[in-house]
Homo-oligomer: A and B are copies of this chain.
């Protein structure tokens, strides 16, 4: 597909600077763009590339001041990043016309499963008894949908997703390859002989609308009731969500973070990669937790920013971490002070004796 600067400017409501007939066939980063590329500059630190790039068309912020001549055709828009995102979305929507369709064979669909209209089911996928797939669901090959699972409209399960029995996934949610939804929570009762008896995990997982779950995440079913992922939550890859956890609306969590059992995370939180949160806590709305932090206490105040293990107030952690690097000097200084004090005392004694 090919687009001219004129077409793109029309689509975005932007203002052209340069040749309006130049055209592009690919989207690139400005550092590596070729002469058929469309790029954007939102971050000022990439501005230098504007004067050397081979790109055909560059989206820039309305108010950008040029400091040298530019070869590319510019399209000025109020927010270059947002405009670029819209454009990519548009491009991506067009690509969807090529999405796979229909029921491929062989697949396994139990007699009692209910399959909506315009559903794609890839070969080697398995739809269990009582499962309900609403209109427009796309189930890529080698996926497993357990008994009585309910998938809302336009849910996407990429290849190899496993959804255990009784779980529910809301409309438009996207689950990436290898994610496991509804495995047993980790619950065992210690026995007198030191062994463990499995506690049956009788609940389920409920994922609401517009959620995205990354590749190879594991979201365990509740012991009773539901592990709950509210609408708009975005999880990166390899995240562990234990039984009975609740994650409220529009919280985003980076890769390899883990949340232990029964913890409740508020709305619009941001949790960094490899962070860990122990069980049975409550984390207030808008909490930010830094990468690799270990949270061991509930957070009561919204907009708290945490860091470190055990995690506490972000700025305080930074101060302590900065001093941590200087512990050897602190130790030396302390030893020197001790010595000086000792000297002073013996001087004083000498002075006193001398008097």
Contacts of A254 on B, CB cut-off 8 Å? 186, 260
Q: Are B320 and A310 in contact (CB under 8 A)?
A: no
| Residue A197 interfacial (CB < 8 Å) | yes
**Contact check: which of B89, B104, B309 meets A198 at CB < 8 Å?**
B89
Tally A residues with Cβ within 8 Å of B.
Answer: 107
Interface check A78, CB cutoff 8 A: no
Given known A254-B260, A328-B319, contact A214–B200 (CB-CB < 8 A): no
CB <8 Å contact, A334 and B334? yes
For residue A351, CB closer than 8 A to chain B, the reply is yes
B273 & A273 in contact (Cβ 8 Å cutoff): no
Q: Is A256 an interface residue (CB 8 A)?
A: yes
In the complex, whether A258 has a CB less than 8 A from a CB of chain B is yes
Chain B residue numbers with a CB within 8 Å of A321 are: 310
13 residue pairs bridging A and B, Cβ less than 8 Å apart:
A89-B198, A92-B200, A176-B184, A194-B249, A196-B234, A215-B218, A216-B218, A240-B256, A276-B291, A291-B294, A319-B328, A320-B325, A337-B337
Q: CB within 8 Å of B: which residues of A?
A: 27-29, 32, 81-82, 85, 88-89, 91-92, 104, 106, 108, 122-124, 126, 140-144, 146, 158-160, 162, 164, 174, 176-178, 180, 183-184, 186, 188-189, 194-200, 202, 210, 212, 214-216, 218, 220, 224-225, 232, 234, 236-238, 240, 242, 249-250, 252, 254-256, 258, 260, 267-268, 273-274, 276, 278, 291-292, 294, 309-310, 312, 316, 319-321, 323-328, 330-331, 333-334, 337-338, 340-341, 344-345, 347-348, 351-352
